[in-house]
A and B are shown apart, each in its own frame.
Chain A
Amino acid sequence: MQTERSPLKPPYQRVASHMNLNNKDIWLGIGVIAFGVMLLTVAIPDHVSSPSNVRALVLAPTFWPTIVAYMIVALGVVLVASRLIDRPVSASDETWNGDGIGDELIHGWARLLAMAVLMVGLVVATPILGMVLASMITFAAFSIIVFSPRPVTSLIVAVVLPLVLYAFFSHVAGVAVPQGRFLTLP
């Protein structure tokens, strides 16, 4: 079967997705404003040190981050304001959700969560198991998470690819690839 993806959605879907994006953007804008305020009130005063003998305010180490933080707040306000002006009339219009529905949505989030755990696991496991072994396990786990339709190919690549990369980086590029406690490769 051919994949026939139309470049444009039907008009009702475009309007609904436009409305969805609007609401999403309002929340995004609020988040951006909160982030900017947090920078100005907490992060810059506490985590950007400035010596007392600065010749001019514009030369202070805090000046640039402060300007950037004000710009973040301003852009957040503009984002919220622009989307409020262009807001949908009623929430009931929002019938179409481009992200998927029901079980599909839950499965998608579950896979993303599993992926996050896998990434943390890889970082934690690298010094213990070594990068090669940790990568092999990560590859295999990734294939399980996405229910790979080619498990044999995935398994072969999971073993071969980290070994090839180890050979290149260790023996050609001279990188000290972490070996781990249980397996020492030549």
Chain B
Amino acid sequence: MNLFDNLAAAWPLVANFESFFALASGIVIGVVAGAIPGMSATMAVALTLPFTFALQPITGILLLLGVYKGGIFGGSIPAILIKTPGTPASSATILDGYPMAENGQAGKALGMALYASCTADVISNMSLILFAGWLASFALSFGPPEFFTLILFSLTIIAGVSGDSLIKGLLAAVCGLLLATVGLDLVYGTNRFTFNDPNLMGGLNFIAVLIGLFAIPEILSYVWHPGGGKGTVRALGEQHVTFAEYRRSFRSIIRGSFIGVILGSIPGIGAAPAAFLSYSEARRRSPNKENFGKGEIEGVAASEAGNNGVCGATLIPLLALGVPGDVITAIVIGAFMVHGLQPGPMMFIANADIIYALFLGLIISSVLLLIVGSVAIRLFRYIVDVPRSVLMPSVLILCVFGVYAVNNNVFDIIIMFGMGWLGYFMMRNNIPAAPFLIAFILGPLLEDNFRQAMLMSNGDPQILFRSWITWFFWAVTLITIGALIRAGLHQRSAALGLKVASKD
């Protein structure tokens, strides 16, 4: 079947009230959560996940994708109104969004953020539709050695770019791999770190681990310093973006969208670097470059296009290869698994209808985001004002109910709390949690492919170099490590230079 046949076959799955309602609700939840400082798109997707168990697979996944898209846009609201990014991806939006708010143009900045987000979203979704199928058909020729090297490459890049330090990123990834070994051995069925507890024999519950790592540390961080994170909300002021302003920013929006698509399709890069790169490119090429940083609407457009351009593209490696590109897609992979689906090239054959229904749903979500965003733009300042003293205990209770609902097991709540304290320890020591979680998810896949390769070759490691694909992934892994070490050394010499300067 060609692309259009597949889309036609998938249309009935998405053309119903449940799917539209799930998408719209997801976008509303995402926008609200993204707009509340202290919440994030990641936390919102993680907390929504348990609510999808009772839904049809396609409805549940569309709900999560709606939250994701809404959350990324919603993050721009506090960035513009109170100079606090709702999500890391919105950090670049502050640079011009907040000065615009100071000039009484917060509504205009929010409007441009919305239009740029929706435009980038459409481009990103189209890229996903065009490239995911092609990549999946290519990946069908992958065997265990190719998948092993691909996952190794993904983990290296995710570990390297997720935090400030390559060593700490790798440490987080390795600890995630260790945690993934808990449970029965994949081949022999013997116990590994189960301590004779039957609760541990199936391994640690993925949802308990992810909610523990991404929601509980935020709660503990608030408990540590309950007075932090307050800011005054700016008035909306002038509210409408003119078509002339949109047209003037259009080149930056398109450029930023493609930057987002390219960076988003590489596992681990994420939305924040895409937003900053898009912003700096827009400033470099703009005739108004001296206005950037002082309230230039093109700056808001560029950064929002960059971070939303990533949204659809991060699903390319997830759907085509089964490798989550960032934490949110790692959560989405969890939703697939809960419903007995395994993303990857085989899914394009076995469950093509679901894949193409998702594509259609994503296109619809861009339109819904525009409608929801336009309607709600006046209410945003009240959303930002939600008191954290009520929000954080609510998040805790949501976590408890959500995690319990996975297996009807109090043990999962214990795991969640344990992971929460570990995540808080990591947060305080600047150890990124993203490589930990992604390694925890990919760990069994990595080990399984390694052992299958070894079984195929009777333990001969040469099989890991058997094709040009494996050589390619080994090469890019080494190049990535080299580049990251070089960047780290540059950073260190800059810090040492600063130290010497401060002594003088």
B-binding residues in A (CB < 8 A): 1-5, 11-12, 14-15, 18, 21, 24-25, 28, 32, 39, 43, 47-51, 54-59, 61, 64-65, 68-69, 71-72, 75-76, 78-79, 82, 86, 88, 99-100, 108, 111-112, 115-116, 119, 122-123, 126-127, 131, 135, 138-139, 142-143, 145-150, 153-154, 157-158, 161-162, 165-166, 168-169, 172-178
Contacts and interface: CB of A to CB of B under 8 A. Distances in A.
Contacts of A176: 408
Contacts of A158: 393
Given A61-B192, A169-B405, A154 B393 contact: yes
Nearest to A100: B225
A177 B404 contact: yes
Interface string B453-464: 011001101000
Given A71-B174, A142-B396, A51 B190 contact: yes
B220 A68 contact: no
A68 B224 contact: no
B111 to A, nearest CB: 23
B473 to A, nearest CB: 19
Nearest to A1: B232
B392 A142 contact: yes
B193, B223, B428 interface centre (most CB from chain A within 10 Å): B223
Interface in B382-404: 387, 389-390, 392-394, 396-398, 400-401, 404
B185 to A, nearest CB: 4
Contacts of A166: 401
B220 A112 contact: yes
Chain B, interface size: which category? 35 or more
Contact of A12 (B53, B219, B502): B502
Given A3-B83, A18-B499, A148-B390, A79 B167 contact: yes
Contact of B393 (A21, A72, A143): A143
Contacts of B143: none
Contact of A165 (B171, B401, B455): B401
B498 interface: yes
Contacts of A86: 492, 495-496
A26 B401 CA distance: 39
B194 interface: yes
Interface stretch (B122-130, B131-139, B410-418): B410-418
B447 interface: yes
A72 B178 contact: yes
B458 A119 contact: no
Contact of B54 (A32, A39, A143, A174): A174
A12 B340 CA distance: 54
Nearest to B94: A7
B489 to A, nearest CB: 10
Interface of B: 50-51, 53-54, 82-84, 167-168, 170-171, 174-175, 177-178, 181, 185, 187-188, 190-195, 219-220, 222-226, 230-232, 387, 389-390, 392-394, 396-398, 400-401, 404-405, 408, 410, 413-414, 417, 421, 428-430, 447, 450-451, 454-455, 458-459, 461, 492, 495-496, 498-499, 501-502
Contact of A79 (B168, B226, B414): B168
A65 B178 contact: yes
23 contacts: A25-B429, A28-B429, A47-B192, A47-B194, A55-B458, A58-B450, A61-B190, A61-B192, A64-B447, A78-B167, A86-B492, A115-B223, A116-B421, A119-B417, A122-B413, A126-B410, A139-B397, A142-B392, A146-B222, A148-B389, A153-B390, A172-B54, A178-B410
Contact of A2 (B167, B232, B501): B232
A11 B492 contact: no
B394 A161 contact: yes
A119 B216 CA distance: 11
B51 to A, nearest CB: 7
Given A12-B502, A65-B192, 8 more contacts: A18-B499, A28-B429, A49-B191, A61-B188, A75-B171, A123-B417, A143-B393, A146-B389
Contact of B410 (A58, A71, A78, A123): A123
Contacts of A147: 226
Nearest to B499: A15
Contact of A24 (B232, B397, B429): B429
Contacts of B499: 15, 18, 88
A91 B23 CA distance: 56
Nearest to A10: B502
B389 to A, nearest CB: 4
Contacts of B401: 131, 135, 162, 165-166, 169, 177
Contacts of B461: 58
